[in-house]
Amino acid sequence: MKVISTESSQILAARVAREAGLEIVDVRFSRFPDGELYLRTGPIDDEMVIIGSIADSDALVQLLLLVDACESSRNVLVLPYMGYARQDKQFNPGEPLSARAIARALSPGVSRILTVNIHDETVLKHFGAPAANLSLAGEIGEYLKGMDFSHPLILAPDEGAAEFGELVASAGGWDCDHLQKTRLSGEEVRMAPRNIKADSRDVVIVDDIISTGGTLAKATEMLYEQGARNVYAVCVHGVLTGGAHTHLLASGIRDVVCSDTLERGCSRYSAAREIVSGIGDART
């Protein structure tokens, strides 16, 4: 078994290979004059770990080409970040169910598929091969153990993420709660922890993904108004579009942290150990 990756997941793939004691395969990427993507791999095995986050359309095409180049009935496909996964419902006639389309396209040529904190696990049923979702809640908990917090409160952004927040909090035996929105008027909404006050506490907001950061920034401002000592944001997937990182820091968040499922400057902890564990489970 060897490890191979697309351009968007080179660093994570190297960490997975190192953690698992596997060889990583060299891949050369280029474009034809008309803009079409091209790649060529080094020597491969009949059992590969193919790693590629779908951060954009080019990353998707690269991943499709890589799966085809390594086609085998024994390959494991790892999708650290699966773009289009949040488009899992049809709200208007004629809309594609994009998560299903991507899942179907990536299924041929692999025996197992691993995702990491996919937005909704019901997407897994659309793959044409057995699929499992890995959670980095434990890795976030281990990262937070190294931080110098004062009486920390782990806070999920909504009820839907409450279970994820509880898994993070369990790593350190910390208090955990989730934000609750209260509409005060047609334009005014108040956000506060549902049960535990943030007064004089370090608050760590944890979630699977940070995209624009708008709601998170607003929540941070309100937490400070309610007496929070410091507010931090830790997520799995740091999409961080539209200047989100700067926006969050400007709102008063002390630090923004994400994993390396999307390789960012604020990627402070790795998905590699959890992925290696998942690969082992997939082979048994």
Dihedral of the alpha carbons of 155, 157, 163, 167, in degrees to the nearest 10: -40
Task: State yes or no: is 181 an active-site residue.
Answer: yes
Partner residues linked to 39 by β-bridges: 29
Name 147's Cβ contacts closer than 8 Å, sequence gap at least 6: 232
Which tokens in the block code for residue 63?
């991943």
C-alpha closest to that of 76 among 88, 91, 87, 66: 66
- Whole-number Å distance between alpha carbons of 269 and 23: 22
Q: Tell me the angle at which helices 272-283 and 137-145 cross, rounded to the nearest 10 degrees.
A: 140
- Per DSSP, the chain holds a count of helices (H) and strands (E) of 8, 15
User: Which runs of E-coded beta strand occur in the chain?
Assistant: 2-5, 23-24, 27-31, 37-41, 48-51, 76-79, 112-116, 131-134, 153-156, 175-183, 189-193, 202-210, 230-238, 255-259, 267-269
Residue 88, sorted as left (phi over 0), alpha (psi -120 to 50) or beta, turns out to be alpha
Q: Which of 89, 181, 197, 218 is catalytic?
A: 181
Which tokens in the block code for residue 136?
């980095």
Residue 44: HSE in the Cβ half-sphere, 13 Å Cα cutoff: 20
Q: Which residues are catalytic?
A: 181
